[in-house]
Structure 1
Amino acid sequence: MSTEDHQPIVFILSDSVGETAEFVVRAASSQFNGGHVQVRRIPYVDDEKIISETVQAAAEVKGMIAFTMVITELQEYLHEEARRWSVPVVDIMGPMLEGLSSLFRRQPKREPGLVRKLDEDYFRKVEAIEFAVKYDDGKDPRGLLRADIVLIGVSRTSKTPLSMYLAHKRIKVANVPLVPEVEPPEELFMVPAKKCIGLIIEPDQLNGIRRERLKSLGLAARANYANMERILQELEYSEKVMKRVGCPMIDVSNKAVEETANIILDMFRKGGGQA
């Protein structure tokens, strides 16, 4: 008979994947001479038949059951079956739910799989942030075709801050700076117009923003970057590109990043996107 056959068996019943319960079981079993225990996960439990079969299997091998099911009816049925077959049962989430109910002063939702949904949201956010960094400032035009939203505009129209803000809303954003001397990437004209947003700004405000930027870098405010004639040339060129793309435009003059981002989110949702 193998060593494994002598190991105690813990059956895990979960209405999700059962990772939380397995982690707790293994952490606790480590306190018993190395914690050699067999863990058998039964995920996505949603009916009484699975519970009955698991209880009987646990009874046959003199094992125990740990569970993280949150639906009250299934919990009650499990306890009834466990008593009938004399199988020990441990409710892993119950005490914490009771404690948090007192803390929040309301009852839990008892909706299966919420942790998994939270994890999915988290990883989507991380993925969107990494996307925004990778495809910032036109670094790699291939990203334009994979983006949920493409922002275009001249320098200092908040393209990067907007990309990062929207990334935290789980939206993949690429942005492209428009400069008269540089032809926009051909991929830009392959992006559906409704996915592309042009950022425009009043010349005087852009001039002030660029002057402050030069000052912060210790450069002369008279540099071409903040020259009004140059600014007008850039803005005229950028609007020509935007009209060629056929995208909607947002005037970011005197708007906070959050305000512009909310306008973009509203456009994104109306266009069939999800945020």
Structure 2
Amino acid sequence: MPRLHLHLLSDSTGETLEMIAKAALAQFEETDIQRHFWPMVRSRQHLDRIVPDLAANPGLVLFTLVNAETRARLEEHCRTIGLPAVPVLDAVTEALETQLGQAAHGRPGRQHSMDDAYFKRVEAIHYTIAHDDGIAYEDWEDADIILAGVSRSSKTPTSIYLANRGYKVANIPLVVESPPPDLLFRLRRPMVVGLTTAPERLVQVRRNRLLTIADGQESTYVDAERVAEEVRFARRMFADNAWPVIDVTRRSIEETAAAVIKLYNEREAREIPPVVGPKPI
């Protein structure tokens, strides 16, 4: 199995760099990747302390450093050691500079500045945590998105992921014996999305869940026929209310969230009235 030391150097939190590395590594199978993560590298002194580890664990260096002096010093060190160093955002930044006709600001962590979008994201996270699993349904009209589905259909992790993207999300478990509050069917502002999954996959997920709680005894919670009926019950509700449905059986949380965002943006685009220009003379 190929082994690689992957060094990630960032002058900010490194979140962007980690996401890029994760997306690229997903294209490779059966590899042993040893990550070395170095966030907040903003001085020559900090960088110089990292160099011995680069030399001791040769591999690939990916970096997002906007300070010209710091990045030049890193590149010099990598040439001396004989390591490839890739500035992962350079191509995108240069293309934007060309298209926009202006130079990039070159300020570390600018994407994490405390602007309106930042505070909107914080508000969304607070709202989403406070409205998990059907809690505080009286405030659902304030949500952007409501996720509905049977137990263990990835509602909560998807909600949290969406909240980190700035969406206020509530979620509601659908239980055959306990109908959801009537308010769910009268909402005007939020978009309600149904999450469904294959019953056999749901049984497997629930069995794994039972192993981590209580004594893990079998129950109707993992009975195949019962689970299939739950899924059918939820699907009927989705169809009766014309809610869009996403099958999460083979989707990651990120993929499910992306599908929800696409549905939300499409709905927003339909509801924006067309711009009417002046009548021709």
- TM tier, smaller: 0.5 to 0.7
Q: How does 1:149-188 map to 2 (within 5 A)?
A: 149-188=145-184
CA distance in 1, matches of 2:137, 2:218: 32
Question: What TM-score does the superposition give when structure 2 sets the normalisation length?
Answer: 0.56
Contact 2:144 2:190 in 1 (8 A): no
Q: How does 1:16-35 map to 2 (within 5 A)?
A: none
What is aligned with 2:210?
Answer: 214
Shift of 1:104: 6.9
What is aligned with 2:233?
Answer: 237
What is aligned with 2:253?
Answer: 257
Shift of 1:173: 0.4
Question: Percent identity of the aligned residues?
Answer: 34
Equivalent position SS for 2:115? helix
Equivalent position SS for 1:152? strand
Equivalent position SS for 2:179? coil
Contact 1:129 1:167 in 2 (8 A): yes
CA distance in 1, matches of 2:195, 2:239: 12
CA distance in 2, matches of 1:115, 1:207: 41
Shift of 1:203: 0.5
Shift of 1:108: 4.2
CA distance in 2, matches of 1:118, 1:172: 18
The number of residue pairs the alignment matches comes to 173
- Greater mean deviation of Cα atoms: 230-239 or 197-206: 230-239
In the alignment, residue 201 of structure 2 is paired with which amino acid?
A: Q
Report whether the alignment pairs 1:199 with 2:201: no
CA distance in 1, matches of 2:188, 2:153: 22
When residues 104 and 217 of structure 1 are mapped into structure 2, their CA distance, relative to the original with a 3 A threshold, is: same
When residues 269 and 134 of structure 1 are mapped into structure 2, their CA distance, relative to the original with a 3 A threshold, is: same
Equivalent position SS for 2:211? helix
In structure 2, list runs of 5 or more residues that go unmatched: 1-65, 73-93, 95-102, 270-281
Cα deviation 1:220-245 (Å, max 9, x = unaligned)? 35212111122112112111221222
Equivalent position SS for 1:174? strand
When residues 216 and 117 of structure 1 are mapped into structure 2, their CA distance, relative to the original with a 3 A threshold, is: closer
Question: Of 223, 230, 241, which aligns to 1:227?
Answer: 223
What is aligned with 1:64?
Answer: none
In structure 1, list runs of 5 or more residues that go unmatched: 1-98
Shift of 1:217: 1.1
Report whether the alignment pairs 1:129 with 2:149: no
Contact 1:193 1:247 in 2 (8 A): no
Question: What TM-score does the superposition give when structure 1 sets the normalisation length?
Answer: 0.57
When residues 187 and 125 of structure 1 are mapped into structure 2, their CA distance, relative to the original with a 3 A threshold, is: same
Cα deviation 1:48-71 (Å, max 9, x = unaligned)? xxxxxxxxxxxxxxxxxxxxxxxx
